[in-house]
Amino acid sequence: MGLHEETLDKSNVLHVIDEAVSALQKDDVAVSGSACEALGIGTAEWAACRDQLIEDLQEAEDWVEREDAIVQEVSDTPPVDSQDGPEFIPSHPTIALVQSAMEEQLAEPTSRHFNRRDPKWLSVLYHRLRTRARGKAPFPGHQQHEDFRFDLPERGTIALVSDWGTGNVHAAAVAQQISARNPDHVVHLGDVYYSGTPREVQRNFLDMWRSYGPPHARYWALNANHDMYSGGYGYFQHLLPAFGQPASYFNMQNRFWRLVGLDSAYVNHNFNTPQMAWLEGQLAGDARTVLLTHHHLLSPFRKRGNALEEWLDPYLTDGRIYGWIWGHEHHLIEFADYRGVKCRCIGHGSLPYVPPDRRRVRHPADIVRWETRPSPLQPSRGIHGFALLTFDGPSLQVEYVDEAGGTAWTERWD
């Protein structure tokens, strides 16, 4: 299980895209015939499909070239970020869907390696890319403010993990350590790779929790950018029903604390009006609010989440948000309090990353501490882990647990 090396190699993925464009441009009889047969369409419809495929793939190639040029202009040393690190998983929907299609081909029983010259490959690629033309899965909205509100025990534990949906050995190790702590709830802050297809949701996410996760915990999941690259159908129509979760935003609350999960991906790195109207009805009373999102507010490597801050400005100004925990960036970082809010990044769930280095910071961010240890399973990469929240009435302890069962650090929020 897990992501194949061939689909994580940047040069290989770009070579696959380049050869796919070349084959589509030639459009010989073998290509068009097998594509039409596999897709159940005529030659006229295939011509339109072919042209759209070429445009999408060429735009993706252009995007990579622009990103590479930016990196070279900024510094001779590439920044430590997921899309510039050792594993190629860029935040670009077409490339993510190409990688999903490659994974499907490699999963075939007769496929020992990826065959770029197989005409059937183009039909698989088309099936994946056509999900963009379908648009997004419907967004489940609330009818009243009491919707999507759940009881949170005053004493209990919750495991938070993000960017975990790879199906690799790190994901298994992290899930086993979560299981060893036997939490009452597990909340995933989003990203099932590469593009959150139903197959990937099943293989890299649901099957992994069933195999390695705590058997008696209740599971929750937030939406994320990689989950939306295939339109969100894997997330909304497969993952949420499997968890018995009614929507992509929710409130878990007791007398002292509330955990509010928001969807920052249905509109990429942004919120939408329905859930913001719902949020206004959640923040009454004296309970301290800890916000959970996939996307970040602060980052040393990416641009700030200004749109998120604009939506939440009234609550930040009034001091109604106590803490904010997010993923998206594949590191464990404790930021200094921002506008009175405790800010943490826990995106180091399982995707291999280079341990961060302050010399490579691209954007100003006040960092208190971050995880720089190597992974015991892959010493050239950073260590993975999760956050364990232990509620004890008005007191909350946060422990950052690693994939080997150790502790990076702990803190008390009260």
297, 334 Cβ separation under 8 angstroms: no
Residue-level pLDDT at 31: 67
Instruction: Check pLDDT > 90 for residue 117.
Output: no
Q: Which helix (H) or strand (E) holds 119?
A: helix 119-134
132, 97 Cβ separation under 8 angstroms: yes
Mean local confidence (pLDDT), 313-329: 97
- SS3 state of residue 367: strand
Q: How far apart are CA 410 and CA 397, in angstroms?
A: 7
Neighbours of 51 (CB within 10 A): 13
Mean local confidence (pLDDT), 178-199: 97
Least confident piece of the model among 12-21, 62-71, 81-90, 249-258: 81-90
Residue-level pLDDT at 110: 62
DSSP 4-57: -HHHH-HHHHHHHHHHHHHHHHH--HHHHHHHHHHHT--HHHHHHHHHHHHHHH
Express each pLDDT in 32-77 by its tens digit: 766 676 667 777 777 777 788 888 889 989 988 887 765 555 555 5
More confident residue, 88 or 240: 240
What band does 262 get if pLDDT is binned at 50, 70 and 90?
very high
51, 57 Cβ separation under 8 angstroms: no
Please state, for a pLDDT cut of 90, what percent of the chain lies above it.
Answer: 65
Q: Which of 258, 200, 257, 259 is nearest to 224 (CA)?
A: 200
Q: Find tokens 């935003």 and name the residue.
A: 249
Rg of the chain (C-alpha set): 22
Q: How far apart are CA 321 and CA 315, in angstroms?
A: 6
Please state, for a pLDDT cut of 70, what percent of the chain lies above it.
Answer: 89
Residue-level pLDDT at 127: 74
Express each pLDDT in 339-395 by its tens digit: 999 999 999 999 999 888 776 777 888 999 999 999 999 999 999 999 999 999 999
Q: What is the CATH number of domain 149-413?
A: 3.60.21.10
More confident residue, 2 or 205: 205
What residues form DSSP beta bridges with 343?
A: 324, 335
Mean pLDDT of the chain: 89
This prediction has a pTM of 0.91
Instruction: Check pLDDT > 80 for residue 206.
Output: yes
For the chain, the domains span 5-134, 149-413
